[in-house]
Structure 1
Amino acid sequence: MPKPLADNEVLRTALAEACPELTGELRPLVDSGLAHDHYRIEDSPWLLRVPKQSQRGYAAADNLAYQAACFERVSASGHGPKLRVSLPPGRGLPMGALVVEYIEGRPPRLPQDLPALAEAMAAVHALPLPSAAQRPPLEDHLDPVAGALEEIETQARYLDGPEVSPETRSQLREELDWARAYAADVDGPPQPRSLVLTDTHPGNFLIRAKTGTEASPRARMDGARNGRAVIVDLEKALYGAPAIDLAHATVYSSTTWDVATSAVLSLREIADFYRRYLDAIGSTRSAIIAPTLLPLRRLLLLRALTWCALWRVEHRAEISEGVEAGWAAARSNPTLIAHVEDRTRHYLDPAVVRRLRGEWLDSPGLESLFR
């Protein structure tokens, strides 16, 4: 098994200094992500979230401050865990840790829980946009398309690696040409901006336990929050385009990423999800956001697939050359790494890429369902 970044004794000491009232056994949760270890604090309503790495390349203190801001701001919507305290980086705890609310719930079931996900994102996107001076430390994409394209361009450098087949490389370069033209189109639809979650694949959400005899006493006390979707992975929130969140929740590479939530959605189910979101935000905002939904879905898929190329190349370097690429493979469960290996290989298969592009290149595609 992989060695955790911090041992239990170090965590208990740091926790006792920051929250002496929180005592009890630290129970490690299943290792299901590349970026964090998680520990339930006994039976309390709190969780320790310990970074393994910064996927944005931030220094430890900056990474912790960024994530703390994500939790503080998203939780104001009622669809994110509350932040209790930060444990600063220190000896034996090089990346620090956060104490955040433990969400009692289950993974989403698709497509049944898509309405709950749509409503959660609508609530986050409806939060007031702070003044420019109040947005840091979160990234602020003044031009959301340009911000997404910058990330895609960085990742696209990995398309020439041996992990990407010539046919897939050709298809993704065609998508990149489209993305550049879309970003340069000054007459294109204006991009609305809001607080966005960025990493909205369904496995990053939990559905709160419903009120009733089957729920725990704590869940029953949550009242109206029961049954809500809560996003529990909050390290990448920023100010950008809402349509990218919606796309990331429903593209094939997201809905089949996590074993617990895996499902292949039909075009009709995807369109129903978008309609549920538009109904939730009201007609005024819908009129602004609707023209951006399909172009940014295309942009998001390119972001996801170029990330797959990046991960495969850098992870291969970690294995064969001992290069530290920041994916914390040595600190992650081998089963998890094998899963990521399998998923990224699958999504870069030429036939899969061709099928995914069919949403906008084939007729009838997704666009026909919005007419």
Structure 2
Amino acid sequence: MLKDILNNKIYDYLKYSNLNEKLNIGEDYNVKFLAQGEYNINFALEGSNKKYVFRVNTGSQLGLENQIKYEYEALKNLEASSVTPKVYYLDDSKKDLDYGILVMEFLEGKPLRYDKDLNSAAKIFAKIHSIDANGNGLKNFIVEDNIFSARINESQKLLRDFFQSSKIPLYLKNFFDIFINWAEKNRYEEKYFLENKWHVINNTEVNSGNFIIGKEKSYLIDWEKPVISDPCQDLTQFLAPTTTLWKTDRILKEEEKEEFFKVYISNLKDNSIRERVNLYTPFLYLRALSWCAYAYLEYQKEDKEIKNMDTYNKIKEYLDLDFMKDLLKNYF
């Protein structure tokens, strides 16, 4: 497997690049596999009482030619927040390992728990959203102004084969057809975000597993696909049932959300976030449920090797008509 091949090659890479000296880990160090996603493989690099994350990039969710540099520049700009990993090294040449390389801070802690750590998350978001998103370091970043249109366009692409498939029941096709038409009719409301522009750095993957809650400090990690856009993108996704139910059985209560907003606002001094989140919520649902529809169809392919039955079962739960109607009962 690639992770095993890379594990051996990283030892050689560290020596002939002198990176072990630059990172001050000495000659006696260890490389250990940490975790693997669809586009990145992470290793723990440890020596001389220092520990780092050695990140190898194998592709791009954003379709970028230089994905690892995009992430590096985001992390560099985010360091001012003190709630994201510090980044120490970039090699985007792809000369020695054939992949982009990033070395960043190894952070100790546990994943976020919704019943205990909402205030910590609110403070993390406030610090990140306090960073000037108009600086030169972010001039090459993807900017999303028309956030309703962006979600509609994504969903139409995700649903293209879904609408044509004979494997999908008619009632599901009808539901998504009604949902898309509703979104199109209400697309005009994105003018609020154009007339009241507030741009911040959004992570776009703010599930509980991407937070590290430490004893003294807490962090938001995994900055693979950040965009410059309205803060409602991350906050809506973080609070939404489609996120909280993915790995847990939690749906946040209204009083929990209100406490979260109070902490966020007290640290950022902007009272418009509730309205922004409320406006954006159904369009987040459109994207989340459309992805589930797309993924469900992918799992029906005969040559598809289902690797995660938990994911497949969760997708089917989300596509339950009663579940989707309940999510959208306040909108249509």
Instruction: Report the TM range for the smaller structure's normalisation.
Output: 0.7 to 0.9
Q: After superposition, give the CA deviation of every residue in 1:246-274 in whole Å (9 maximum; x if it has no partner).
A: 1111212211223xx55332233233323
- Provide the rounded CA distance (Å) in 2 between the counterparts of 1:248 and 1:115: 16
- Provide the rounded CA distance (Å) in 1 between the counterparts of 2:63 and 2:295: 14
From 310, 317, 326, the counterpart of 2:294: 310
Change (3 A) 1:316 1:266: same
- The one-letter code matched in structure 2 to 1:167 is Y
How far did residue 200 of structure 1 move? Answer: 0.8
14-23 vs 199-208, greater mean Cα deviation: 14-23
Which residue matches 1:120? 124
- The one-letter code matched in structure 2 to 1:286 is N
- Provide the rounded CA distance (Å) in 2 between the counterparts of 1:54 and 1:134: 20
Which residue matches 2:281? 297
Maintained 8 Å contact 1:14/1:87? no
Q: Does 1:263 align with 2:250?
A: yes
Q: Does 1:28 align with 2:17?
A: no
Q: Say which SS state the counterpart of residue 232 (structure 2) adopts.
A: helix
Q: Say which SS state the counterpart of residue 29 (structure 1) adopts.
A: strand
Q: Does 1:150 align with 2:153?
A: yes
Which residue matches 1:72? 76
Maintained 8 Å contact 2:42/2:54? yes
Change (3 A) 1:276 1:140: same
From 303, 311, 321, the counterpart of 1:320: 303
337-346 vs 242-251, greater mean Cα deviation: 337-346
Q: Say which SS state the counterpart of residue 183 (structure 1) adopts.
A: helix
- Provide the rounded CA distance (Å) in 2 between the counterparts of 1:192 and 1:125: 10
Which residue matches 2:114? 110
Which residue matches 1:50? 56
Alignment RMSD (CA, Å): 2.8
Identity score, percent: 21
Change (3 A) 1:277 1:74: same
From 237, 259, 265, the counterpart of 1:278: 265
Q: Say which SS state the counterpart of residue 212 (structure 2) adopts.
A: strand
Change (3 A) 1:29 1:187: closer
Please report the TM-score for the alignment, with normalisation by the length of structure 2: 0.85
Maintained 8 Å contact 2:57/2:101? yes
Maintained 8 Å contact 1:28/1:40? yes
- Provide the rounded CA distance (Å) in 2 between the counterparts of 1:314 and 1:28: 29
Q: Say which SS state the counterpart of residue 48 (structure 1) adopts.
A: strand
From 195, 198, 223, the counterpart of 2:204: 198
Change (3 A) 1:92 1:129: closer
Unaligned regions of 5+ residues in structure 2, if any? none
Q: Say which SS state the counterpart of residue 10 (structure 1) adopts.
A: helix
- Provide the rounded CA distance (Å) in 2 between the counterparts of 1:74 and 1:165: 45
How far did residue 6 of structure 1 move? Answer: 4.5
18-27 vs 105-114, greater mean Cα deviation: 18-27
Give the number of aligned pairs: 321
- Provide the rounded CA distance (Å) in 1 between the counterparts of 2:239 and 2:182: 21
81-90 vs 108-117, greater mean Cα deviation: 81-90
Q: After superposition, give the CA deviation of every residue in 1:295-342 in whole Å (9 maximum; x if it has no partner).
A: 21221121112122233334555x627xxxxxxx8xxxx76x333323
Which residue matches 2:187? 183
- The one-letter code matched in structure 2 to 1:345 is K
- Provide the rounded CA distance (Å) in 2 between the counterparts of 1:121 and 1:304: 21
Which residue matches 2:311? 340
241-250 vs 38-47, greater mean Cα deviation: 38-47
- Provide the rounded CA distance (Å) in 2 between the counterparts of 1:118 and 1:175: 31
Q: Say which SS state the counterpart of residue 271 (structure 2) adopts.
A: helix
- Provide the rounded CA distance (Å) in 2 between the counterparts of 1:143 and 1:18: 46
Q: Looking at both structures, which has the greater relative contact order when contacts are Cα pairs under 8 Å and sequence separation is at least 6?
A: 1
Change (3 A) 1:338 1:74: farther
Unaligned regions of 5+ residues in structure 1, if any? 211-225, 322-328, 363-371
Change (3 A) 1:184 1:253: same
Change (3 A) 1:68 1:312: farther
Change (3 A) 1:135 1:93: same
How far did residue 121 of structure 1 move? Answer: 0.9
Which residue matches 2:144? 141
- Provide the rounded CA distance (Å) in 1 between the counterparts of 2:191 and 2:262: 25
How far did residue 165 of structure 1 move? Answer: 4.1
- Provide the rounded CA distance (Å) in 1 between the counterparts of 2:277 and 2:141: 23
Maintained 8 Å contact 1:252/1:264? yes
